[in-house]
Structure 1
Amino acid sequence: MNKTLGLVITDGVGYRNFCLSEFLSEASVRFENVIIYSGLPVSVFESHNSNNIKVVELPVFVEPFGTWFWRKFKEVAHLQLHKKFFGINDNLEANKSSSNSNRGKATRLIYNLTRHFHSENFIGFLEKKQLTSLANHQVSRECLEFLKTDRPDFLFFTHQRPPYVVPMVFAANKLKIKTGSFIFSWDNLASKGRMAAPFDSFLVWSDLMKEELLYFYPRTSRHALRVVGTPQFEPYVMPEYQMEKSEFYQKHDLSSDKKTICYSCGDISTSRNDELYIEIIATAISEGTISEPVNLFVRTSPAEEPERFNFLKEKFPFIRWNYPDWFISRKDHPEPWSQRVPSESDLVDLRGILSYSDLSINMCSTMSLDFMLFDKPVINPVFGNEQNGLYNDQRFLKYAHYEKVVQSGAVAIAKNEEELLREINFSLKNPNARLKEQKELLKLQIGKQLKGTSQRIAKTLKEFSED
């Protein structure tokens, strides 16, 4: 009990995963002190006050050009090194710049250099340059003072990608404080660029993610890797987030004598065809093409405002909408999405949607896994390709993390309107047709039982703090 855990929560999703799960209560039992270093305002944590939990609000970090340059250099080098993976190559192409700004010109220089220089050793050199570029930065000095005062035995980062974690990593390295990170999402290794900074150890979802990390970060020791599952799904087995079916139908004005189709939206950066898919489903309901009467329930993305769907709300008044209750905790932040914070009531809503919907439709989202955890059939509409003028969402089927989903047979893929409507009618009549494949996919992607996830994470962090 004489150990102190430093917990770096960078954004609203980190808050959701580690504050709205059972993690804080588990960590406060295993550690004498838990210090949350927060990229969110201190006020967000008012309901989590405890004798041995302290919150320190981190200063807002605006990445200077020099640090950006070395980070961008290493990220593009990492993408060049692993571009045989479709998702990584897709991101490599997407990050090219034709801008005449200083960053645009620097990006083109980086692309030219990394065609020739992108070895693991070279990436390690760039990583050191990135960290040392922050040696005299005001935010780095403030982070050093925080850590000198608190002296955590272990510093755990809930996300490995945001650039604004780098000053804390620099400060921890300077003070020889051990660091660890949770791999934030199932697509972060085989589809994205380099992590924001190097860490001493990692917590991962599954054995699959463990092997991915060892492949993409070959200098990582197996001993420094632990499979713990992910806390983002733990609220689905916590009694405080449960809602009765009658309450769910009443709250959202749904007809209890109809089955419910839930369409889960992505944000416009990757899910631009959502409006088309919703309109096709709503039109089919209006025209009686769906084999039985259904509710159409749409949950928008918490990452954006829902204005792009206003025309659908007017055209199809029978659609029921759920706008995630994620409040903006701070404006004028360099990463505004990071400041959106979920409420506990939104988790209750989400769990109700997963529990009582009969069919999930989404464009290759993590929500596919969420619904599978509740044994619900899933359809992924992907109409867009390089020829038909629609936003090319079919390319996501070739991303390494989602290719496994497609190959598993756990979801139905619909590449046009006819396939989508056929799969809707089939899934409504045969909800368990893919259940076996779904269970197998969940074992592959989420390596542990949901119950006890926070306990495993806290136990592992205590062990890391004692190594």
Structure 2
Amino acid sequence: MSNKKIFILLPDGIGLRNFSFTNFHKIGADKGFDITFWNTTFFDLNELGIKEVKIENARSHPMTVFLKNALIQVELNQNIKKSKDPIYNYYRFPFSYNSVKAAFKSGFTEWVVFWHNSKKGLATLRKKIALQERKTKLYFDSLETLKAEKPALVFCTNQRITTAVASILAAQDLGIPTATFIFSWDNLPKGTKIVETDFYFVWSDHMKKELQYYYP
């Protein structure tokens, strides 16, 4: 591997905590990798002596939040159908109708779920998310950064944050391998995997089997 530059995408504080406030980058540097944090957070990593490239004002497409919420509901529905176990209903957040705005969001999400409530519908929702994210300023900014920096791999530290999607898509469209970290054992059955990458890091063989079960 001649190119040793690794981009670590930090879409939120969880990634910051797990990878920047630990010795993760030092381990990588000791192994000869050129570690650069691709940072969407407000924290200045230069204060820790860590190399970073800032992503300013990272915003996903306005439609993505609706599509994401619908995607989670459909995934839970499909998990129930696949396992014949209603336990997945406990992972749902109840829809809110306390205001006109909340009622609109909930009603629209339920409408999207109704029309995509199948295995094929899941694939369609993911395609729609990718389509919307490829329209964003974040996507085009990410393309320019990646063309200039030319990393060998983009590693996303959180698989459930919508603002990570555009940057990962940009890397994939440029032929740069991508990976993400399933940071908690319960992230898989909850249907919260929004980011799709080439490789996944998990904690154990059990989680590997769960990943293959929920996302074959």
- Which TM-score band (shorter chain)? 0.7 to 0.9
CA contact (8 A) 1:9 1:38 kept: yes
TM-score (norm 2): 0.86
What do the CA deviations read for 1:322-344 (whole angstroms, capped 9, x no partner)?
xxxxxxxxxxxxxxxxxxxxxxx
C-alpha deviation, 1:86, in angstroms: 5.1
1:73 to 43, 53, 70: 70
Residue in 2 that maps onto 1:204: 202
Distance in 1 of aligned mates of 2:32 and 2:3: 7
CA contact (8 A) 1:10 1:159 kept: yes
Provide the secondary structure at the position in 2 that maps to 1:82. Answer: helix
C-alpha deviation, 1:42, in angstroms: 5.0
Distance 1:100-1:159 versus aligned 2 partners, 3 A rule: same
Distance in 2 of aligned mates of 1:18 and 1:62: 22
Residue in 1 that maps onto 2:56: 59
Distance in 1 of aligned mates of 2:145 and 2:160: 22
Provide the secondary structure at the position in 1 that maps to 2:185. Answer: coil
- Percent of aligned positions with the same letter in both sequences? 29
What do the CA deviations read for 1:399-444 (whole angstroms, capped 9, x no partner)?
xxxxxxxxxxxxxxxxxxxxxxxxxxxxxxxxxxxxxxxxxxxxxx
Distance in 1 of aligned mates of 2:70 and 2:187: 18
Paired amino acid for 2:3: N
Distance in 2 of aligned mates of 1:184 and 1:118: 27
What do the CA deviations read for 1:228-286 (whole angstroms, capped 9, x no partner)?
xxxxxxxxxxxxxxxxxxxxxxxxxxxxxxxxxxxxxxxxxxxxxxxxxxxxxxxxxxx
Distance in 1 of aligned mates of 2:110 and 2:181: 32
What do the CA deviations read for 1:69-97 (whole angstroms, capped 9, x no partner)?
332332221111013555531123x2434
CA contact (8 A) 1:96 1:107 kept: no
Distance in 2 of aligned mates of 1:60 and 1:159: 18
Residue in 2 that maps onto 1:164: 163
Task: Report which structure shows greater RCO (CA 8 Å, sep ≥6).
Answer: 2
Paired amino acid for 1:71: K
CA contact (8 A) 2:15 2:157 kept: yes
Distance in 1 of aligned mates of 2:23 and 2:87: 33
Provide the secondary structure at the position in 2 that maps to 1:181. Answer: strand
Map 1:409-428; keep pairs closer than 5 Å.
Answer: none
Residue in 1 that maps onto 2:48: 47
CA contact (8 A) 1:2 1:31 kept: no
What do the CA deviations read for 1:360-386 (whole angstroms, capped 9, x no partner)?
xxxxxxxxxxxxxxxxxxxxxxxxxxx
Paired amino acid for 1:162: I
Distance 1:85-1:16 versus aligned 2 partners, 3 A rule: farther
Paired amino acid for 1:11: D
Provide the secondary structure at the position in 1 that maps to 2:133. Answer: coil
Distance 1:156-1:87 versus aligned 2 partners, 3 A rule: farther
Provide the secondary structure at the position in 1 that maps to 2:44. Answer: helix
Paired amino acid for 2:136: H
Distance 1:33-1:106 versus aligned 2 partners, 3 A rule: same
Q: Does 1:213 align with 2:215?
A: no
1:107 to 104, 109, 123: 109
Distance 1:86-1:186 versus aligned 2 partners, 3 A rule: farther
Paired amino acid for 2:110: R
Residue in 1 that maps onto 2:91: 91
Distance in 2 of aligned mates of 1:86 and 1:19: 38
Unpaired runs of 5+ in structure 2? none
Distance in 1 of aligned mates of 2:148 and 2:11: 20
Larger Rg: 1
Distance 1:211-1:108 versus aligned 2 partners, 3 A rule: same
Paired amino acid for 1:96: F
Residue in 2 that maps onto 1:176: 175
CA contact (8 A) 1:88 1:193 kept: no
1:193 to 191, 194, 214: 191
Paired amino acid for 1:35: T
Distance in 1 of aligned mates of 2:158 and 2:5: 20
CA contact (8 A) 1:7 1:34 kept: yes
Query: How many residues align structurally?
Result: 209
Residue in 1 that maps onto 2:26: 25
Map 1:126-137; keep pairs closer than 5 Å.
Answer: 126-137=125-136
Provide the secondary structure at the position in 2 that maps to 1:96. Answer: coil
Residue in 2 that maps onto 1:412: none
Distance 1:57-1:86 versus aligned 2 partners, 3 A rule: farther
Distance in 1 of aligned mates of 2:59 and 2:69: 15
Please tell me the root mean square deviation across aligned C-alpha atoms, in Å.
Answer: 2.1
Distance 1:86-1:20 versus aligned 2 partners, 3 A rule: farther
Paired amino acid for 2:138: V
Distance 1:63-1:2 versus aligned 2 partners, 3 A rule: closer
